[in-house]
Structure 1
Amino acid sequence: MTTPRPFGRSLCAMITPFDASGALDVAAAARHAVRLVADGCDGLVLNGTTGEAPTTSDAEKTALVRAVRKAVGPTVAVVAGVGSADTRHTVALAREAERAGADGLLVVAPYYSRPPQPAVEAHFRTVADTVDVPLMLYDIPGRTGVRIEVDTMLRLAEHPRIVAVKDCAQDLAGSTKVIANTSLAYYSGCEELNLPLYAVEGAGQVSTVANAAPEALRAVLDAFDRGDTARAARINRLTLPLVELMMASGLPGAVTAKAVLGAGSVRAPLQDADPQSVERLRRARETLLAHRDEWN
């Protein structure tokens, strides 16, 4: 079996920079996007959780997609988050992102209202029927309160424009079943599962930590693809201290990613990291980068 990778292997769930006044900084976003691609990212996922999508306006989301599309050129996959709790709003966001140049759409399960599975399925089908670009479904029940169940995923895989999944369900057995029975490209959205999911024919990763260390995260997949699983595991272990601080320290990934990069403030209700957390994050990143020779 050849694993489908419609958006490449190593994608970054990109931060959304704001300027000193709190406005969207498209120039900073473009610069960051170019750096990420230069450092090994195949694609960029915009307007997601790490991109602070709950606090950006529809116009800002569209402007970000346009700016990044222009900055990275036509060969880099740009996937735009368009999820909301309202199917009509999601459809409107999807159409705007497509017009702005997105290659694909990240569509989260509708949250808060916790619809039953037939309604979840109908939501995704409605969006997929509306646009001409492919969809990556976003399964993150810890945030949405609703799972995209395995049987639902198996049915949705039959839709020609539903091609991928960002998998944050923490259910490796369920994901393996879908991978084995469909052509859906499964991208890990939880860094601790990047390598395990890849080993069962996942497509790759959509990573928050890639904002800070894209080369290291890609190197894990590169080593695995060369058949050097021991090296893949070793590099993966080197990333863990930074992964834990960015993703499991009690601070949201948007906060830790901006903190470690010195990339400005987050929008309320999120709050910037305290100085001690910033220092720990930066030390962990410096330690990881000091081992660059081990993965080059």
Structure 2
Amino acid sequence: MLTQDFSGLWVPLVTPFDGDVVDHGALRRLVRRLGQEGATGFVACGSTGEAASLDKAEQRAVLDTVLQAAGPLPVVMGVSGYHLPQMLAWMRELGDCPLHGWLVPPPHYIRPSQAGLVAWFTAIADEAQAPIVVYDIPYRTGVTLSLDTLRELAAHPRIQAIKDCGGDARKTEALLADGRLQVLAGEDAQIFGTLAAGGVGAIAASAHLATQRFARLTALLREGRLAEARALWRALAPLVDAVFAEPNPALIKAQLALQGEMANTLRLPMTAASAEGARRVAAAMTAL
């Protein structure tokens, strides 16, 4: 099994809409702009992309557009669910796509045991055509992947990285010390701390905005140039705080709409950002 590198700045893409349909033109332009401004790669159909509100045909069409627009840059596909045969069938259906990896969270709603989580990820990894990035995000799934579970999963040759949204600094540090999983900051507010401690990169929704600065921050941290990175991070932190003041991706879409890149449209149950929230993000961008 080919070992992939997941280091660098990954952007979990929003899904632009034109009315009630996906705006593939806006998505294509967004991917190209982000690539030109320093994104290492892209995540299609993650939570930032409102994937739960897209049917399978829409998800496949989004993935095809992202792959086409990304050119040589790598693409990871988000897949989630709690029905294992359906998950595996969907991954097989996408097996013809040149994916760099799969972003896979625990099954939501069910709250399985740690043994169940090991069995779940193992079954998926056994059949995966590309490496797995484990998405540890307890506040969305209702279940926490323990350190022992992650260490057990790290032994699988197709499980190669973790998007770390677990909120447990000791677990993050232990994974970094273990060294078998590439650790990616999954919470934008933890980019500096995770990379300074040895993480390989970030999957950062905020990097739709000020992309060049986030790419520069990632590079500086990976080079160990902490003083320069610290100054840049302090400038970016107000933008990160502003972007996540309301449910993601409402505020990112509001700013992208202000910049003329897409309509400010989300699908229920997601709703548009408040005017005050949008003003705060715009002000943070102006301050940069």
Q: Taking structure 1 as the reference length, what is the TM-score of the superposition?
A: 0.91
1:284 matched residue in structure 2: 284
TM-superposed deviation, 1:7:
2.6
Q: Partners in 2 of 1:173 and 1:194 — Cα distance?
A: 16
2:81 matched residue in structure 1: 84
TM-superposed deviation, 1:8:
3.3
**Cα distance change, pair 209–167 in 1 and its aligned pair in 2 (3 A):** same
Cα displacement string for residues 249-271 of structure 1 (whole angstroms, at most 9, x for unaligned residues):
1x112111101111320100111
Q: Partners in 2 of 1:23 and 1:197 — Cα distance?
A: 37
Q: Trace 1:1-296 onto structure 2 (pairs within 5 A).
A: 6-19=5-18, 21-73=19-71, 75-247=72-244, 249=245, 251-262=246-257, 263-264=262-263, 265-288=265-288
Contact 1:17 1:25 survives alignment (8 Å): yes
**Cα distance change, pair 257–98 in 1 and its aligned pair in 2 (3 A):** farther
Q: Partners in 2 of 1:225 and 1:46 — Cα distance?
A: 25
What runs of 5+ residues in structure 2 fail to find an aligned partner? none
Q: Partners in 2 of 1:231 and 1:106 — Cα distance?
A: 31
Output the aligned Cα RMSD: 1.5
TM-superposed deviation, 1:102:
2.1
Please give the secondary structure, in 2, of the residue aligned with 1:100. Answer: coil
Cα displacement string for residues 154-174 of structure 1 (whole angstroms, at most 9, x for unaligned residues):
010011110111000011210
Q: Partners in 1 of 2:111 and 2:143 — Cα distance?
A: 5
The structure 1 segments of at least 4 consecutive aligned residues displaced by more than 3 Å after TM superposition are none
Contact 1:7 1:77 survives alignment (8 Å): no
TM-superposed deviation, 1:5:
7.0
Q: Partners in 1 of 2:128 and 2:63 — Cα distance?
A: 16
Please give the secondary structure, in 1, of the residue aligned with 2:43. Answer: strand
What runs of 5+ residues in structure 1 fail to find an aligned partner? 289-296
Please give the secondary structure, in 2, of the residue aligned with 1:106. Answer: strand
Q: Partners in 2 of 1:277 and 1:182 — Cα distance?
A: 39
Q: Partners in 2 of 1:101 and 1:117 — Cα distance?
A: 31
Cα displacement string for residues 9-60 of structure 1 (whole angstroms, at most 9, x for unaligned residues):
11001101111x2111222111111111111000001111100011111111
Q: How many equivalent residue pairs? A: 281
Q: Taking structure 2 as the reference length, what is the TM-score of the superposition?
A: 0.93
Identity across aligned pairs (percent)?
32
The residue identity in structure 2 corresponding to 1:160 is P
The residue identity in structure 1 corresponding to 2:78 is G
